[in-house]
Amino acid sequence: MKKKVKPEKKLPIQFLLITLFLLFLGAITLYKPSITGFVPLNVYTQDIELVLTESGNFILSTDAIEPFVISSFRISGEIIGNGQVNIAIDTGRGQKIVVYKNLKDSSKKGGFTKITGRVMRNIKQETSDSKAKWLVIKPIKPLLEREVFEDVNDTEIKSGVFEDQCIQSCTMSMEMSRDVNYRLVFLVEKGTTLKVNKVTFVA
């Protein structure tokens, strides 16, 4: 009597495809390959002490040994009073980048992701590090431009502490070197005090 041979069960092709796909995902997770074009960046926090009761200009530059590019620039401080404050970077080539305005809904705040933080304190002591990045901010006179403030109500003006603020400078590309200078413009309405205690930039 002949034995009955059971036919082999063939695996569905969908099952094979799903298995291969899961194996592929597992390999990617295990080896964590780098993405082409990714450039690691650092967040630099630099303490400064500026107190302005009127508008003023400052030279924004660096005396770091190696040039670098700033991809984000943010500012922190406090506003005392009910007047307007406008902070901007003038490139000197007909372009002005607004950093902060103390008008409601005009500022932006965001977190830094996938980048390492580095606090730059006692800036002048960092010159021995050829890879160190820091900013030099020096006052200059005169103002070089007419003060222009928006016609708004006091209820639309924000005062108090502000942290890591940026508007047009959240994402940017600003080359910094010993041969390049920018103008950091602070417009402060009469009767208002602006305190700047920190700048944070990505480079």
Closest CA to 100 of 9, 25, 198, 12: 198
- Segments forming the whole domain that contains residue 66: 42-202
Per the structure, the count of domains in the chain is 1
128 found inside a domain: yes
Q: For residues 196 and 203, give the distance between their C-alpha atoms in angstroms, rounded to a whole number.
A: 21
Q: Looking at residue 20, what is its pLDDT?
A: 66
Give domain status of residue 29, yes or no. no
3-state SS, residue 145: coil
Is there a contact between 103 and 194 (Cβ–Cβ < 8 Å)? no
Per-residue pLDDT of the chain (203 residues; tens, 9 = 90+): 544 544 445 556 666 666 666 665 555 444 433 333 344 568 999 999 999 999 999 999 999 999 999 999 999 999 999 999 999 999 988 889 999 999 987 655 544 433 333 444 433 334 445 567 899 999 997 777 788 888 888 789 999 999 999 999 999 999 999 999 999 999 999 999 999 999 999 99
* Lookup: tokens for 202: 């990505």
Q: What is the pLDDT of residue 37?
A: 38
Q: Any residues with CB less than 8 A from the CB of 201 and at least 6 apart, and which?
A: 43, 44, 46, 70, 72, 73, 74, 135
Task: Note if the pTM is more than 0.85.
Answer: no
3-class secondary structure, 124 = helix
11 belongs to a structural domain: no
Asked if residue 20 belongs to a domain, the reply is: no
- Does residue 92 belong to any structural domain of this protein? yes
pLDDT of residue 153: 84
**Residue 25 forms part of a structural domain:** no
Q: Has residue 17 been placed in a domain?
A: no
Q: Is residue 158 part of a domain?
A: yes
CA distance 105 to 102: 9
